[in-house]
Amino acid sequence: MKRALSRSAFENNRCRELELANNRLRNLLGFHEASSLRTFAAQVVARDSSGWFKTIIIDKGSADGVKRNMPVAVADGIVGRVIAVSRFYSKVLLIIDLNSSVDGLCQRTRARGLVKGGISGRCGFLYVLRKDDVRIGDTIITSGLDGVFPKGLRIGRVSAVVKRNAGVFQEVEIEPYVNFEKLEEVLVILTPQRRIPDLGIS
């Protein structure tokens, strides 16, 4: 009897996990269809050992077409970019890592800046001019100008703005839309090689 109850509980939990996984995959599929980007799904199989969760390992590699600097995202927003690739696995640098930088735009006003990883799980929006209109609650998106992330993907929400009496730039903090501690499945974005046209200017 106890063995039967234990097996029943095991099966119920397994079914619940499958249901949750299907829901997450449906969200990813919705993002894929809405964005018109070429993507494929990958499972998160490991995180960095430091406990800061600044890199993750996914179960797709060069055998699946993954290359360095390919963007990684979920339905909520961008996750990071691929920094190392083996045959069957890849390492992804998260946007909250201090070494990460993403060219960004304020969606409302088109103010431009550089999104840099921070130590608190948030990001800074750097080099935003003091005269630019950026407010708490604004959505920051990718500008498409860094050669890695396609334009228009969500990064995060402005959580703090400080304008000093002196200086050229204001201080802006962003809370990413992605919950990095709960990542289980992600989408790798297949970005075509960008060619800068020769304009004949010398």
Asked if 106 and 20 sit in the same domain, the reply is: no
Q: Which CA distances in Å does 97 have to 56, 171, 176?
A: 11, 18, 12
> What is the three-class DSSP state of 121?
coil
Residue 194 lies in a domain: no
Supply the CATH number for residue 150's domain: 2.40.10.350
CATH of the domain at 49: 2.40.10.340
Same-domain status, 43 and 30:
yes
What's the pLDDT at 120?
82
| pLDDT (0 to 100) of residue 202 | 47
Task: Give the contacts of 184 (CB within 8 A, at least 6 positions apart).
Answer: 21, 24, 43, 44
> pTM of the full predicted structure?
0.79
The answer on 111 and 92 residing in a single domain is no
Q: Are residues 77 and 115 in the same domain?
A: no
Q: Are residues 13 and 91 in the same domain?
A: yes
In the chain (202 residues long), the average pLDDT of successive 10-residue segments reads 52 52 54 67 87 84 96 95 97 95 97 93 95 97 94 96 92 96 93 55 50
Note whether 69 and 162 are same-domain residues.
Answer: no
Identify the domain containing residue 161 by its residue range: 101-176
- Euclidean distance between CA atoms 164 and 82, whole angstroms: 36
